[in-house]
Amino acid sequence: MPYANGDLHVGHLRTYVGGDTFARALRTLGQEVAFVSGSDMHGTPVAVNAWQEGVSPEEFALRHHEKYEETFPRFDVDFDNYGHTRTDANVELTQAFVRTLDEEGYVYDEEIAVAWDPEEEQALPDRYVEGTCPYCGAHARGDECDEGCGRHLEPGEIEDPTSVVTGNPAEYRTRSHKFFRLSEFEEYLGEFIARLDGTSNARNQPREWIEGELKDWCITRDLDWGIPYPGEEELILYVWVDAPVEYVASTKEFAESSVGSDNAENDESTANAAGAGSAGEGFDWERAWAEDGELIHVIGRDIIQHHAVFWPAMLRGVGYNEPRAILASGFVNLDGKAFSTSRDRAVWADDYLAEGFDPDLYRYYVVTATGFQQDTDFSWDRFQQRVNSELVGALGNFVYRSLLFAHRTYEGTPDSELSTEVRERIEAAIEDFEESVNEYSVRAIGQAPVELAQFGNEYIQQAEPWKLVDDDPGRAAQVIRDCVQLVKAIGVLAAPVMPGTAARLWAQLGESGSIEDRGLDAALEAPPANFDAPPELFERIEDDRVAELNEDLQARIEESAANPDADAREGSHEESDTAAETDLEPLTEGRIGFEEFQDLDLRVGRIEHAEAIEGSDKLVRLEVDIGIETRQIVAGLKQLHDTDSLPDQKVVIVANMEKAELFGVESNGMVLAAGEEADLLTTHDDASPGTRVR
RNA sequence: AGCGGGAUGGGAUAGCCAGGAGAUUCCGGCGGGCUCAUAACCCGCAGACCGGUGGUUCAAAUCCACCUCCCGCUACCA
């Protein structure tokens, strides 16, 4: 589940794409699957960031939720249901879970020390307290001496505590909280972890806790943002209690929706496979969760303990099934270092799409780059290289040359039997595919279609049907029949990783219906006798394109490196850079001359009209008076400015910007604004529209 | 510090759980071929003593021990 606290980058997407690919692969094997997720809305960071932005946590979290919900389908991450942790379904289920745990005697009260901001009358998690380390005297965070000796600090230990948020002095108060008797599950969890399937990091990392001593778990917080503890409204449940319950709630919502809708979500994802059947209505969520369903969690590797320790104990406590497997994905890095949301050191999901790249390209790239649990680097160079060689050169080329040849010579599939050699090769590919799914090898699932295409290229090359057409027409027909069959099989195998591509391929073959509704058997069924000349499946990515992408990305990386203290308040894996990258030289790098500056035609403009662009969550269409004429300009301001407030604002625009088309709307110029907040540049006095800025 | 993950030809990776002919695939280098195909495709060659040390074994990249270096987790950030 994505945490409703920031934009999505391609690193986040890795986990969801992996889960989506795996869920689709399970369906291909005929399994009944519910692939569900939702936004994680609660918790301190949302509350704090909303407060800093001056909006309610609800509004803040919902805004991100809606963004995620819209983004996932654009990468073909098609959750059967994408909810969030504040839905009625989740609130009710979470409270029911907790009530049961309480009734079963798994919960008790205990008083603990809590840091407090007396002016705001607000509790402060230790992470939001800073002060002086009592051991080494260094400046430290409330829970850890992060800049000095590295020691873990207990609540109350730190000296001169102040709130990171308000700067107010903090004090410690004694509060009564609820504790979950995790320690009672020690034996159970030991057995559980021994039979858990999935990636080795998920199966091994929790052992330290489980085989050591399990501490009871504090499951409430002093916060006014979250789900209340049932019966004690002043206590709010810790986010990690209600977040995983959303997997159940989302499954329930899916089951109760009349038709399996194509909602999107992002977050860790859960696939339940329960026997065979069809997706959509009538899914028995209780059977999946409490009877014979099989639960598979696909998560990021930074939250293994939550899914392999706390969550199974909760499930056990309420009498539900335990996860059968946990797949914990590695991170996607840039130059070996973590993405950083707050420092804009990332390749954003939106940027990728705005470049016009097919989502399947990234899906394939990230799924097959390395084993699912391994970390990997993202770079446009490698992206280009693998897309051009494997997708364009191997898969796309084989499909194209085969179908084109077949169409020109036979107007479709030639009337000939499939050769034994090719039949056996396809059968082997199917077997490998099934084995990959059974071994939870998402990577191998992704590689299957390209491997078959590589075989296809060798096969057609060695058989040389273009020569046989005259010499041995019978043999030529046989070879092309084989190739068309290979194309069809490639489509079937490609559907989980590259659903869009597979659908296009299906259409090129003249097949009707959805490729996803067909099982693996379709790979060996005869292709249609007639089809049209095929269009190319993928486009090459050219070098100059990559050079541009690299420049943009490099500029951002350098900027973020020069700006190391942007925001220390992020999810840990987003922010794990140590302060070692402080190469301060942003001012000398890349100076430009006055003449180059003069190439920019900057003008004062006055916004005459502003309206949101439908379908985009950021873009606004503006009509800007620049004295000489009125320009239509598209700008990403919607989230940050009320469109009604824009008319009459004076702005600074780049008048000689190349025209561009965004969301189908022509943009003739560019409005200047500062930073993430899109703080509009304006004039201080009364310069009239059209005045040159220099 | 403890625990987990990783260290494989110039780069990127697979294989390790279920030990067995000196090892996969992609890019890059060198040399051929083909022309149906998006300067795509096919074939061949060069290049790794599989992080280090020691052990188990007839046999280890694969198992065990110790060590080095990266990344992560350690429970009131999610």
For A448-462, the pLDDT digits (tens) are 999 999 999 999 999
Chain A 565-584 residues in 7 Å CB range of strand B: 571-573, 576
Percentage of residues in chain A with pLDDT exceeding 90? 57
DSSP A579-594: GGG----TTTTT---H
Q: How many residues does chain A have?
A: 694
**Tell me, what's the pLDDT at A237?**
95
A247 alpha-carbon distance from chain centroid: 16
A692 CB below 7 A from strand B atoms:
no
Question: How, if at all, do strands A159-163 and A692-693 pair?
Answer: unpaired
CA of A370 to C1' of B42 (A): 27
Which positions on chain B have an atom < 7 Å from some protein CB?
Answer: 2-6, 12-15, 17-18, 25-27, 33-38, 40-43, 70-78
**Tell me, what's the pLDDT at A78?**
95
Nearest nt by C1' to A43 Cα: B78
Nearest nt by C1' to A385 Cα: B27
The secondary structure element, H or E, covering residue A113 is strand A107-117
Chain A 357-386 residues in 7 Å CB range of strand B: 369-371, 373-377, 382, 385-386
CA of A455 to C1' of B46 (A): 25
**Which residue is nearest nucleotide B3, judged by alpha carbon to C1' distance?**
A208
Chain A 408-447 residues in 7 Å CB range of strand B: 439, 441, 443
A149 in Cβ contact with A96 (< 8 Å): no
A507 in Cβ contact with A528 (< 8 Å): no
A299 CB below 7 A from strand B atoms:
no
Mean pLDDT across A390-419: 96
**Tell me, what's the pLDDT at A577?**
27
Confidence at A599, pLDDT banded by 50, 70, 90: low
Alpha-carbon distance of A260 to A245, in angstroms, equals 20
A184 CB below 7 A from strand B atoms:
no
A48 in Cβ contact with A122 (< 8 Å): no
Nearest nt by C1' to A386 Cα: B26
Contacts of A578 (CB under 8 A, 6+ apart): none
Chain A 597-656 residues in 7 Å CB range of strand B: none
Mean pLDDT across A496-504: 96
A404 CB below 7 A from strand B atoms:
yes
Residue with tokens 């009710």: A92
**Tell me, what's the pLDDT at A150?**
63
A60 CB below 7 A from strand B atoms:
no
Provide the 3-class DSSP secondary structure of residue A396.
Answer: helix
Which of A310-319, A398-407, A592-601 has the least mean pLDDT?
A592-601
Mean pLDDT across A363-376: 93
Mean pLDDT across A477-500: 96
| Token pair in block for residue A346 | 């990332």
Percentage of residues in chain A with pLDDT exceeding 70? 85
pLDDT tens profile A23-38: 999 999 999 999 999 9
> Which stretches of A146-203 are assigned E, i.e. beta strand?
159-163, 171-180, 197-198
Mean pLDDT across A377-402: 94
The CA distances from residue A244 to A311, A492, A518, A637, in Å, are 7, 33, 32, 34
Q: Residue A438: pLDDT above 60?
A: yes
Mean pLDDT of chain A: 84
Alpha-carbon distance of A77 to A74, in angstroms, equals 7
pTM: 0.80
CA of A417 to C1' of B38 (A): 30
Three-state SS for A24-76 is: HHHHHCCEEEEEEEEEECCCHHHHHHHHHHCCCHHHHHHHHHHHHHHHHHHCC
A330 in Cβ contact with A374 (< 8 Å): yes
Chain A 5-24 residues in 7 Å CB range of strand B: 5
CA of A654 to C1' of B60 (A): 66
CA of A336 to C1' of B22 (A): 32
Confidence at A334, pLDDT banded by 50, 70, 90: confident
Report ipTM for this prediction: 0.94
Q: Residue A593: pLDDT above 60?
A: no
A175 CB below 7 A from strand B atoms:
no
Greater confidence, A688 or A286? Answer: A286
pLDDT tens profile A43-85: 988 988 898 899 999 999 999 999 999 999 999 999 999 999 9
Alpha-carbon distance of A524 to A18, in angstroms, equals 26
Alpha-carbon distance of A675 to A343, in angstroms, equals 11
Burial class, A640, CB count within 10 angstroms (exposed 0-12 / middle 13-18 / buried 19+): middle
Alpha carbon distance, N-terminus to C-terminus of chain A: 48
**Tell me, what's the pLDDT at A580?**
26
Provide the 3-class DSSP secondary structure of residue A544.
Answer: helix
CA of A212 to C1' of B5 (A): 20
Alpha-carbon distance of A451 to A442, in angstroms, equals 15
Q: Residue A263: pLDDT above 80?
A: no
Confidence at A149, pLDDT banded by 50, 70, 90: low
**Tell me, what's the pLDDT at A267?**
34
Nearest nt by C1' to A377 Cα: B12
Nearest nt by C1' to A443 Cα: B14
**Tell me, what's the pLDDT at A582?**
25
